[in-house]
Amino acid sequence: MGGQAAQIMKSWKANFMSSQKQDIHPEVKGERQMSIEGFARYMFSSECLLFKENCKTVYQDMNHPLSDYFISSSHNTYLISDQILGPSDIWGYVSALVKGCRCLEIDCWDGSQNEPIVYHGYTFTSKLLFKTVVQAINKYAFVTSDYPVVLSLENHCSPGQQEVMASILQNTFGDFLLSDMLEEFPDTLPSPEALKFKILVKNRKVGTLSETHERIGTDKSGQVLEWKEVIYEDGDEDSGMDPETWDDFLSRIKEEKEADPSTLSGVTGVKKRKRKMKIAMALSDLVIYTKAEKFQNFQYSRLYQQFNETSSIGESRARKLSKLRVHEFIFHTAAFITRVYPKMMRADSSNFNPQEFWNVGCQMVALNFQTPGLPMDLQNGKFLDNGGSGYILKPDILRDTTLGFNPNEPEYDGHPITLTIRIISGIQLPVSSSSSTPDVVVIIEVYGVPNDHVKQQTRVVKNNAFSPKWNETFTFIIQVPELALIRFVVETQQGLLAGNELLGQYTLPVLCMNKGYRRVPLFSKSGANLEPSSLFTYVWYFRE
């Protein structure tokens, strides 16, 4: 306890010395004191903020392969409202890129006058020209981050309009478009550093990277390739076959030269479905390190998935796999880029909790950026880290499969931290929409592995949002701090029937918190900064 007290005094001394820099009264500085004005200036300076200064810059190693990073990703980026009737707007792409999003989704369909369009197919959402979307992306792609942007194409176009898409991509992005493999990375995924200021196309692809390289500079006009896909099903698309059945089945496929058995009668309950599609060579050859492939099964991927193939999994199936096949899931995401997207039933553009998929290492957890709420608070909070670059290096437990990490285990033999937070007071909290003198409460939530998820709250301060005081201390034991986020929520109590009203919140990674006396800025539900509204806190944590 004595050591902890010494650390607290050291933290206070550091804060005091920092505050003196803000003081404009030399006589106070000479006496090693602080004026009220100096203290106020310090309180509202960046040095007093809860978020660590070094986390505001790119400080992580950016030379790992792409699969080693969480990548900020959006779903149906062109939509700014619901999935059925709402408008499509360029603002969806602009706002996502400004927030540091690095994977954008573009649904492409044939348009009139040979102009591909972007919209949510078979719905009443409005339409955008593909060309206009690409031009907007080109303008804002690297405003917030220098690291690569992935264009996830949902391609429903005819070969002719696919050629138009390829031409637009090449003419708009020029040298920023990655159209050939990097010499240093012929058979491994490159790093974000190696791909700085590059645009990557995620789409179906026919042929190998070597074949693409050999065609560089050739005329591909009118050249069409046939893309084929064989899907093996057992009637349960969520769980797939049991591992023994799949291993037996796949070992027999592997023995065949073409890996395409004419019959599956030897495997009970397995169905084979084939799909074909015409793909313009010009577009296919723009796909390098992000080739889209349907996810079939972990065992299938282990035998056949190539290093440059990425797969997308719906949230329902991904959730089931994360519970029933957690070790296989982490093994898979340690090797291959995996994207999780919202289920079709979310017509209102609602979002799932992204934390459950970050816990198993999914790189691209795609959310509807237009919809505020807890999921987007977690998304925005997580990607504050590493300079807001949109790339967060996954912790060792999700990159090294020999560690045998399981986020669902109640106990984890790692390096937990004990976190203490004292909520001291509030500073000019936002005005409630229902009352000018609201009753306010502060809630602290921890999100991470299931065992770390916890919520605690202060008492309610009556009729005072201008300068409420709590002076309440809370302690948390966080087993896996590398994956944990903390969310400060200020609400006004309106009774059991009306429920609480959110006044402001702030979310950040646990390990990005400064220690000592700190100010917690608040943001509205839509993400607007509510300065000077904030909380005054004392924070301390140590590893056990």
Residue at 336: amino acid letter: F
- Tell me, yes or no, whether 421 lies in a domain: yes
For residue 159, is the peptide bond before it cis, meaning its omega torsion is within 30 degrees of 0?
Answer: no
Contacts of 383 (CB under 8 A, 6+ apart): 70, 72, 99, 100, 390, 392
pLDDT at position 240 is: 39
The residue among 213 and 436 whose pLDDT is bigger is 213
Are residues 52 and 515 in contact, defined by beta-carbon separation less than 8 angstroms? no
The Cα 175–Cα 501 span in angstroms is: 49
pLDDT at position 47 is: 85
Residue at 369: amino acid letter: F
Q: Hey, is 162 helix, strand or coil?
A: helix
Rounded average pLDDT over 380-394: 98
Q: ∠ CA(361), CA(366), CA(371), 5° rounding?
A: 135
Q: How far is CA 330 from CA 337, 338, 362, in A?
A: 11, 10, 8
**Banded model confidence at residue 263, pLDDT cuts 50, 70, 90:** very low
Q: ∠ CA(301), CA(351), CA(398), 5° rounding?
A: 40
Q: Hey, is 287 helix, strand or coil?
A: coil
**Same structural domain for residues 75 and 181?**
yes
Q: Hey, is 351 helix, strand or coil?
A: coil
The CATH number of whichever domain residue 538 belongs to comes to 2.60.40.150
**Same structural domain for residues 419 and 388?**
no
Share of the chain above pLDDT 90, in %: 76
Total domains, the chain: 2
The Cα 246–Cα 226 span in angstroms is: 28
**Same structural domain for residues 342 and 375?**
yes
- Tell me, yes or no, whether 180 lies in a domain: yes
**Same structural domain for residues 486 and 538?**
yes
The Cα 420–Cα 311 span in angstroms is: 41
Q: Hey, is 269 helix, strand or coil?
A: coil
365, 398, 431 — which closes off a domain?
Answer: 398
Q: Hey, is 384 helix, strand or coil?
A: coil
The predicted model scores a pTM of: 0.89
Measured in degrees and rounded to the nearest 5, phi and psi for residue 303 equal: -90, -35
Over the stretch 345-379, which tens digit does the pLDDT of each residue have?
999 999 999 999 999 999 999 999 999 999 999 99
Say whether pLDDT at 2 is over 80.
Answer: no
**Same structural domain for residues 162 and 300?**
yes
The residue among 8 and 30 whose pLDDT is bigger is 30
**Same structural domain for residues 149 and 95?**
yes
The Cα 93–Cα 78 span in angstroms is: 6
The Cα 285–Cα 6 span in angstroms is: 62
Residue at 153: amino acid letter: L
Tokens encoding 387? 């300079």
Which helix or strand (DSSP H or E) is residue 330 part of?
helix 326-335
- Tell me, yes or no, whether 486 lies in a domain: yes
The DSSP 8-state label assigned to residue 155 in this structure reads: E
**Same structural domain for residues 311 and 393?**
yes
The Cα 93–Cα 137 span in angstroms is: 7
The residue among 258 and 384 whose pLDDT is bigger is 384
**Same structural domain for residues 309 and 441?**
no
Least confident of 75-79, 86-90, 235-239, 444-448: 235-239
340, 374, 398 — which closes off a domain?
Answer: 398
- Tell me, yes or no, whether 2 lies in a domain: no
**Same structural domain for residues 347 and 476?**
no
Does the annotation mark 120 as catalytic? yes
- Tell me, yes or no, whether 145 lies in a domain: yes
Tokens 């790692």 correspond to 414
* 25, 64, 120, 453: the active-site residue: 120
- Three-class HEC string of 400-444: CHHHCCCCCCCCCCCCCEEEEEEEEEEECCCCCCCCCCCCEEEEE
Question: What DSSP string describes 40-106?
Answer: HHHHTSGGGBSB-SGGGS--S---S-GGGEEEEEESSTTBSS-SSSPPB-THHHHHHHHTT--EEEE
Signed CA dihedral, 243, 244, 250, 255: sign only: positive
Over the stretch 14-27, which tens digit does the pLDDT of each residue have?
555 555 555 555 66
Does the annotation mark 75 as catalytic? yes
pLDDT at position 139 is: 98
342, 369, 398 — which closes off a domain?
Answer: 398
Range of the structural domain that residue 339 is part of = 66-205+237-262+283-398
Over the stretch 415-431, which tens digit does the pLDDT of each residue have?
899 999 999 999 999 88
**Same structural domain for residues 329 and 193?**
yes
* 75, 213, 327, 453: the active-site residue: 75
- Tell me, yes or no, whether 479 lies in a domain: yes
**Same structural domain for residues 441 and 506?**
yes
Helix and strand counts by DSSP (H, E) for the chain: 15, 21
Residue at 1: amino acid letter: M
Over the stretch 270-306, which tens digit does the pLDDT of each residue have?
566 778 889 999 999 999 999 999 999 999 999 999 9
**Same structural domain for residues 474 and 537?**
yes
Over the stretch 144-157, which tens digit does the pLDDT of each residue have?
999 999 999 999 99
The CATH number of whichever domain residue 334 belongs to comes to 3.20.20.190
**Banded model confidence at residue 495, pLDDT cuts 50, 70, 90:** low
- Tell me, yes or no, whether 356 lies in a domain: yes
- Tell me, yes or no, whether 534 lies in a domain: yes
Over the stretch 302-321, which tens digit does the pLDDT of each residue have?
999 999 999 999 999 999 99
- Three-class HEC string of 459-508: CCECCCCCCCEEEEEEEEEECCHHHCEEEEEEEECCCCCCCCEEEEEEEE
pLDDT at position 415 is: 87
